[in-house]
């Protein structure tokens, strides 16, 4: 089959999640902290995990089945 949509989605979410996680760790700002929780760090990790799952699904799904 042609293009697997999990590749671009996984790459996009992994990249944005990694950037947001790094930003959440490095920058200590009052604007990013709500109720004592660093929102940038938490959502960066969520996006990173989702992106990695999408990439793993794309890798696992790209294997060709054995021909009969």
Residue by residue, pLDDT tens for the chain (68 residues) are 567 888 999 999 999 999 999 998 998 777 777 788 888 899 999 999 999 999 999 888 867 666 66
Domain of 21 in residue numbering reads as 1-30
The answer to the question of residue 17 being in a domain is: yes
Q: Give the CA dihedral 21, 25, 29, 35, nearest 10 degrees.
A: 80
CA 47, CA 57: separation in Å to the nearest integer?
15
């Amino acid at each position: 089959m042609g293009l697997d949509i999990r590749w671009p989605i996984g790459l996009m979410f992994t990249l944005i999640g990694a950037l947001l996680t790094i930003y959440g760790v490095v920058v200590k700002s009052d604007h990013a902290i709500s109720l004592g929780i660093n929102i940038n760090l938490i959502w960066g990790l969520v996006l990173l995990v989702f992106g990695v799952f999408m990439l793993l699904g794309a890798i696992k799904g790209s294997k060709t089945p054995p021909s009969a």
